[in-house]
């Protein structure tokens, strides 16, 4: 049964539409539903939904942005909470959390993966790419990763972690339970970082990979906030 329209008189309708769309993604996949169905789920007319999203694509794009930001926060939290004495423990926690997320919520993960091929319009923070880049920068700062190996390293690590996540969610690789998945992610991260650490400078520069997000950062670099000392008095 639809939810009463009165629930949304304080601007909650936009969030409710996104919640309903996310549930439909889990039930039917990225493409198996319409904006009209989303409206029906929350008990409002399609015209009310169009007030917030001018098309189904706009709703999908906004939902993708929300999912990716939520993933970024999850990965940042996992890295921050990492424990143990393994020198790569923070990135191992990142990799484990990424793969677990894909397996726990495969339909929504596919939505986020598909969004990675498009130019999402709203800056996403924290973005999973930025969380990974920050962890690699940390390894350079602590001397655990040579600075010469740092350029483009986030794409090497991402390719490995995303590859494992995709193989598992698509059923092309099988592991016996969550513990085995964690161990495989640990081995993968450790192997990639060991390889990067031992990498010899190439005779010719490596290619420069780009994603929609990294290209946006190149085109529109974030502006650091002005320090209080540099601000003019009122």
Residue-by-residue DSSP string for 31-56: SS--HHHHHHHHT--HHHHHTT-SSH
Q: How far apart are the first and last CA of the chain?
A: 56
**Domain locations along the chain:** 10-54, 67-213
Please count the other Cβ atoms lying within 10 Å of the Cβ belonging to residue 214.
18
Instruction: Count Cβ atoms below 10 Å from residue 104 Cβ, excluding itself.
Output: 11
Are 156 and 197 within 8 A, CB to CB? no
Give the Cα separation of 66 and 120 in Å (integer).
Answer: 11
pLDDT at 229 over 80: no
- Tell me which architecture the domain covering 10-54 has in CATH: Orthogonal Bundle (1.10)
CATH number of 67-213: 1.10.357.10
Is the pLDDT at 224 greater than 80, yes or no?
no
What residue has token string 């972690």?
161
Mean pLDDT in residue range 215-229:
65
Of the pLDDT bands very low, low, confident and very high (cuts 50, 70, 90), residue 208 is: confident
Output the pLDDT for position 204: 86
**Is residue 159 predicted with pLDDT exceeding 90?**
yes
Q: Is there a common fold for 10-54 and 67-213? A: no
What pLDDT is attached to residue 124?
Answer: 87
Q: Could you read off the pLDDT of 9-62 as tens digits, one per residue?
A: 546 899 999 999 999 999 999 898 999 999 999 999 999 999 999 999 999 999
DSSP assignment letter at 142: T
pLDDT of residue 83: 84
Question: pTM of the predicted model, to two decimals?
Answer: 0.86
């Amino acid at each position: 049964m639809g939810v009463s329209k009165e629930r949304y008189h304080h601007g909650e309708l936009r969030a409710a539409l996104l919640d309903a769309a996310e549930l439909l993604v889990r039930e039917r996949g990225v493409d198996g539903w319409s904006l009209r169905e989303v409206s029906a789920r929350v008990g409002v007319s399609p015209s009310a939904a169009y007030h917030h999203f001018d098309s189904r694509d706009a709703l999908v794009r906004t939902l993708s942005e929300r999912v990716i930001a939520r993933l970024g926060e999850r990965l940042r939290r996992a890295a921050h909470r990492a424990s143990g004495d393994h020198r790569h423990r923070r990135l191992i926690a990142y990799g484990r959390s990424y793969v677990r997320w894909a397996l726990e919520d495969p339909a929504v993960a596919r939505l986020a993966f598909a969004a990675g091929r498009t130019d999402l319009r709203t800056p996403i923070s924290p973005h999973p790419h930025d969380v990974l880049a920050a962890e690699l920068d940390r390894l350079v700062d602590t001397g655990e990763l040579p600075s010469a190996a740092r350029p483009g390293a986030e794409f090497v690590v991402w390719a490995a972690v995303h590859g494992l996540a995709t193989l598992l969610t698509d059923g092309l690789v099988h592991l016996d339970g969550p513990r085995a998945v964690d161990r495989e992610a640990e081995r993968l991260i450790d192997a990639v970082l060991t390889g990067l650490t031992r990498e010899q400078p190439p005779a010719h520069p490596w290619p420069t990979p780009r994603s929609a997000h990294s290209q946006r950062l190149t085109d529109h670099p974030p502006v650091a906030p002005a320090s209080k000392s540099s601000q003019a008095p009122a």
